[in-house]
Structure 1
Amino acid sequence: MKRRLLLSLALASLPLLASAQQLTVSAAASLTDAFKEIAPRFEAARPGATLRFNFAASGVLLQQIAQGAPVDVFASADQETMNRGADQKLIAANTRRDFAANSLVLISPVQGAPAVAALADLNRPDVKRIAVGKVASVPVGRYTQQALESAQLWGALGPKLVFADNVRQVLDYVSRGEVEAGFVYRTDAELLKDKVRIGMTVGGHAPVTYPAAVVADSKQAALARDFVAFLGGAEAQAILARYGFGKP
């Protein structure tokens, strides 16, 4: 009798086990806080679904996917990295969707550093170190390079540049006063308003837009499509807006 009861309980649990789905989302570091808040909303709307995040520089994430990392959704901080993913057939191109926008800002530490309010200020001798993202793998680094090239400052500022692995590392360098200035997204700067000041919104670069797409080798393609669609919905958009992201 006891054995029959245990068997019945085991069989009853099979539908629950079968319905449990884990979705792995590789997302740009600047999306960390917003996506962590979006996760429980999506999970509540999709019973049995669990989101697992991997946050890093967009270029690093794409390289991981190319090397076979088991990822279902890729969310990039720029179009260029997603274009590379499409060219390599790493994403399902027909699932690609822009879901957010941002802006590039120049920041400096609140304490212990000179206020930097214009790109020309970066040439001053009291500005010794400037944190930027690595151009090859970090979208904010490419936006920064474009902006400084537009201002004809990229070459001149070369000796001062300190390259970071992602935008949050740039923010850390500035907030700790390890550099006199840095370039991050407005959403990142807003997270540490007590430690960094925004000197200016920077122009002269490609629009900062965030695309998401289902990874071609996803084992949860239907659920992955649902998550990409969810990012464009009212609930996720309200969360993104609260963190300072704009509409694409």
Structure 2
Amino acid sequence: MGVLMYRWVLAMLLLGASAWAHAQTLTVSAAASLGDAMKAIAPLFEAQHPGVTLRFNLAASGVLLQQLAAGAPIDVLVTADEETLDRAAAQKLIDPATRRVLATNALVLVAPAGSNLAGLDALTGPGVKRIALGKPGSVPAGRYAQQALEARGQWAALQGKLVPADHVRQVLDYVARGEVEAGFVYATDAASAAGKVRVVATVGGHAPIRYPMAVASDAGQPALARAFVQFLASPAAQAVLRQQGFGAP
């Protein structure tokens, strides 16, 4: 190998090593209902932080908490309810000083697009055999649905019809495919499946739906994680969330 070629190869190797050293991956565990919004926000943040790649871990909030408690390498945690982040704080899994609310949402009852389901009262009727909702123990949307049905006095009567799902997007899929007559999802989920499902009713009688976020206590990239949390509260990120149908914090 000639001297010039050797120097060129060495320079390329050094350049690659330098780029690798500066490359950073930030792992964000977020509620499944935030998936589309997070993917739209990612390039905006990455453009401001060359060499940084956002990696999203999307699942039910309860599952995300279990993963963090088990030692999963997570930098930022965003849940679909205050209760789950409260539990994370109680276990000292997050930095409480970084906690803030990202967005809000609404719970809706949806049915397949061609359904003539009239409202929440119809759920107890013979025309409804299966109602999908997230598992209340790990899926906040399911917990909100349980609170609403209990407030209406319907929870006990509907037990034989309930189809549990691992996360809210699974509920949406069940309804869109016509595998159930109805399901409880967020308004943002319903909007993402326009033409496949229709909103039967906006549901009340539950705790406010807020999405809190915080930096994980054992974040591998704590400074970058704090920067991302701050970015999520910025006008640019909030504009994306509004476009996706989320409410202001």
Q: What is the root-mean-square deviation of aligned Cα atoms in Å? A: 1.2
Matched-pair contact (CA < 8 Å) for 1:108–1:116 = no
Tell me by how many angstroms 1:110 deviates: 1.2
Distance 2:191 2:202 in 1: 13
Distance 1:186 1:121 in 2: 20
Distance 2:144 2:110 in 1: 15
Matched-pair contact (CA < 8 Å) for 1:116–1:181 = no
Q: Kindly provide the CA deviation profile for residues 192-213 of structure 1, in whole angstroms up to 9, marking residues without a partner as x.
A: 1101110111110010000111
Matched-pair contact (CA < 8 Å) for 1:131–1:181 = yes
Q: Which residue of 1 aligns with 2:147?
A: 146
Gaps of 5+ in 1: none
1:88 aligns with 2:120: no
Q: Which residue of 1 aligns with 2:162?
A: 161
**1:157 aligned partner, one-letter code:** L
**1:18 aligned partner, one-letter code:** A
Aligned positions of 1:98-117 closer than 5 A = 98-111=101-114, 113-117=115-119
Q: How many residues align?
A: 246
1:25 aligns with 2:28: yes
Aligned positions of 1:35-54 closer than 5 A = 35-54=38-57
Q: Which residue of 2 aligns with 1:55?
A: 58
Distance 1:74 1:176 in 2: 31
| Percent identity between the two aligned chains | 60
Distance 2:122 2:141 in 1: 20
Q: Which residue of 2 aligns with 1:11?
A: 14
Q: Which residue of 2 aligns with 1:123?
A: 124
Q: Which residue of 1 aligns with 2:69?
A: 66
**2:103 aligned partner, one-letter code:** A
Distance 2:230 2:127 in 1: 48
1:215 aligns with 2:203: no
Distance 2:62 2:23 in 1: 30
Tell me by how many angstroms 1:4 deviates: 4.0
**1:116 aligned partner, one-letter code:** A
Tell me by how many angstroms 1:59 deviates: 0.5
Q: Kindly provide the CA deviation profile for residues 129-169 of structure 1, in whole angstroms up to 9, marking residues without a partner as x.
A: 11011011000010001101111111111111110000000
Tell me by how many angstroms 1:243 deviates: 0.6
Distance 2:215 2:11 in 1: 38
Matched-pair contact (CA < 8 Å) for 1:114–1:127 = no
Distance 1:42 1:190 in 2: 25
Tell me by how many angstroms 1:9 deviates: 3.6
Q: What TM-score does the superposition give when structure 2 sets the normalisation length?
A: 0.95
Tell me by how many angstroms 1:18 deviates: 2.2
Q: Which residue of 2 aligns with 1:180?
A: 181
Q: Which residue of 2 aligns with 1:243?
A: 244
Look up the SS of the partner of 2:223 in the other structure.
helix
